[in-house]
Amino acid sequence: MKNGFIKVSSACPITDIANIEFNIKNIKNCIDIALKEKSKLIVLPELCITSYTCADLFLQNQLLEHSNKAIEELCSYSKGKDILIAVGAPLLYRTCLYNCAYIIFSGKILGIIPKSYIPNYNEFYEKRWFTQGLNVVNETVDMIFQKDIPFGTDLIFTYNKFKFGFEICEDLWTTIPPSSYLSILGANIIGNLSASNEMVSKADYRRGLVSSQSARCLSSYIYSSSGVFESSTDLLFSGHLLIGENGTILKENSRFQRENEVITSIINIDKLNSERLKNVSFRDSVKYCPFKVREIAFEYNSLDIGKFDRYIDRHPFVPNDEIKREKRCSEIFKIQSSALAKRINHTKINKAVVGISGGLDSTLALLVIIKTFDMLSIPRKNIITITMPGFGTTDRTYSNAVNLCKFLGTDLREINIVDACIQHFKDIGHLAKVHDVTYENVQARERTQILMDIANKECGLLIGTGDLSELALGWCTYNGDHMSMYSVNCSIPKTLVRYLVKYVAEKEVSQNISEILIDILNTPVSPELLPKDKSGKITQKTEDIVGPYELHDFFLYHFMRYGTEPSKILFLAKHAFKEDYSEEVIKKWLYKFIHRFFTQQFKRSALPDGPKVGTVSLSPRGDLRMPSDASSTLWKSF
């Protein structure tokens, strides 16, 4: 409960058509498997108690009576078992037969949901037997062993923040699935009891439906379909099992299995609820619901999920799949360059000015400018690249900066800032041997002054180089490198900057430029504001001071994307980075992240324009409206 996780299962039991005793035995087997996994919900296929393909046998009283007895048996079996069971069976109600989902918990039927839409086209002819349940609301059903059972499409089953809604097969294929209404009325876990036959490519379409519906509903979606032991007279069923969460398929089985099968995954409810809290359009949709829900409360004995085996991405900003990563990098470059092109067109300025340090961020900014100018057919000599050696500039970064600009064909200029900074130290009464924040910021502001003034002199646009990770930590000098006329990297986290530069090095440039880019990638991240050591190497390494960027990007993603509290971020980070960082180290840098994120907001409140690239941005005009003097106390108690 504390961390908002719950284990859920989708299952496909072996069935034998109309052999209810056999079917119940295998349904119990699936439930036992789910319980062993510590799952709290199991979704079984449509009409699995009787089997889906009984056809006119559904009109036989004997089948219906034995189905009801099987439900009673399943209720007895569920006593003392801490799992919500969604199982498919027919229901005869007021002379009409309904295709239903029975929701059972610890010896009791909590509610019965009829199938809203009955398919009667192509290979389906369910209306021969079943009645549409779309408008069934506020009804109750009496069975021999239980009275006043809630019956209708208006049911949500609730335990604290976990809210379960259910629909059946065809419901998902309709223009407005019932789960859409259930979701905006509170359900965040949707189960679908299905019997979807196989045809070429239908599995892809089905998978897409589950993925997209979970995204539209900002929910999890557990899908279970009938298996290969249904009748093959005209159709074949595959037992397709899927578990989705907000557009992502978390778990999927290999279809056409011939044994009882259960797949299990962990759902992050806090993540879903956070998305809903931010999404105003989702909240506003409630006014269009044609009914009010009945919430059926129940209570788990425990939400222990056992082994935490959900995959936690260490680098959530960077796709793991190489093909997807290349596609993402290409897309990002198009966004950055197209945004800069719009600004150039608007200002009618055909020159750009950028400071080049030989580091990652300025390199990425230069590559974006190059791409933009090539796209606009503006000569690369109109790109004024300025390298400004200072007290800490090393031969390695200097030569990389100079050679990169030469090979790319820009207008390279060099302005050494040492003398100007020494004079400024004298002007303000600061000792040059005191290597404090003043010593560092004087250099950063001197460089920005030079860049701004040259931009004015040349009628050029000063392009900012700072990235998203630096903005989150406030690792930039206010009115120094923090400022520019347009910023192209402002929503690119450091972990992604690396892959963008690597992408260009491997895919888009000549061998000599690629070699420079690779060396830049291998250079320690540093502002180079403190003097180099006796051997001429970097002494000031950013990650030694503020912490590893892969940790900070992880913290930032979960903090901003889902509003995750620090205690849960710590929990997730421990699992994601368990092989590389101890809990003490993660806590240390998480505390640093929270402290700096709050204290440095004043810098983000005065950011220059720049394009949003991903789902996380810190722009004061877009994604983050935060007071600069907010207290961080609540977020430090983890």
Catalytic residues: 46, 115, 169
Q: Which residues pair with 168 in a beta bridge?
A: 193
Q: Tell me the three state secondary structure of residue 338.
A: helix
- 123: tokens are 């290979």
Q: Classify residue 525 by its DSSP letter.
A: P
Element at 442 (helix H, strand E): helix 437-458
- Annotated binding residue 295: no
- Annotated binding residue 465: yes
- Annotated binding residue 266: no
- Annotated binding residue 152: no
Report DSSP letters for 154-178, one per residue.
-EEEEETTEEEEEEETHHHHSSS-H
For residue 406, what are the CA distances in angstroms to 369, 385, 402, 442, 500?
A: 15, 10, 6, 28, 21
- Annotated binding residue 550: no
- Annotated binding residue 521: no
- Annotated binding residue 330: no
- Annotated binding residue 95: no
CA distance between the termini of the chain: 16
Residue position matching structure tokens 């907001």: 601
- Annotated binding residue 196: yes
- Annotated binding residue 154: no
- Annotated binding residue 63: no
- 429: tokens are 């009464």
- Please give the Cα distance from 374 to 369 (Å, whole number): 8
Order of strands, sheet of 108-114, starting from the edge strand that comes earlier in the sequence: 139-143, 146-151, 108-114, 96-105, 84-93, 41-43, 5-12, 261-268
- Annotated binding residue 202: yes
- Annotated binding residue 633: no
Three-state SS annotation for 5-68: EEEEEEEECCCCCCCHHHHHHHHHHHHHHHHHCCCCEEECCCCCCCCHHHHHHHHCHHHHHHHH
- Please give the Cα distance from 111 to 91 (Å, whole number): 12
- Annotated binding residue 93: no
CA 122, 127, 133, 135 dihedral sign is positive
Element at 220 (helix H, strand E): strand 220-225
- Annotated binding residue 180: no
CB 291 within 8 A of CB 66: no
**Identity (one letter) of the amino acid at 599?**
T
CB 52 within 8 A of CB 119: no
**Identity (one letter) of the amino acid at 110?**
L
- Annotated binding residue 3: no
Residue 316 sits at the vertex; the CA angle it makes with 315 and 320, to the nearest 5 degrees, is 70
- Please give the Cα distance from 452 to 485 (Å, whole number): 8
- Please give the Cα distance from 530 to 581 (Å, whole number): 28
Report DSSP letters for 265-322, one per residue.
EEEEHHHHHHHHHH-HHHHHGGGG-SSPPEEEE---S-----S------S-TTS-SSH
Task: Sort strands 139-143 and 146-151 into parallel, antiparallel or unpaired.
Answer: antiparallel
CB 495 within 8 A of CB 553: yes
Looking from the CA of 531 toward its CB, the CA atoms found within 13 Å total 9
- Annotated binding residue 477: yes
- 166: tokens are 């259910």
Q: What is the number of residues in the chain?
A: 638
- Annotated binding residue 83: no
- Please give the Cα distance from 407 to 367 (Å, whole number): 12
- Annotated binding residue 376: no
CB 494 within 8 A of CB 553: yes
Nearest to 289 by CA among 170, 167, 118, 154: 154
- For the annotated binding site for L-glutamine, the residues are 121, 196, 202
- For the annotated binding site, the residues are 121, 196, 202, 355-362, 441, 465, 470, 475-478, 603
- For the annotated binding site for ATP, the residues are 355-362, 465
- For the annotated binding site for deamido-NAD(+), the residues are 441, 470, 475-478, 603
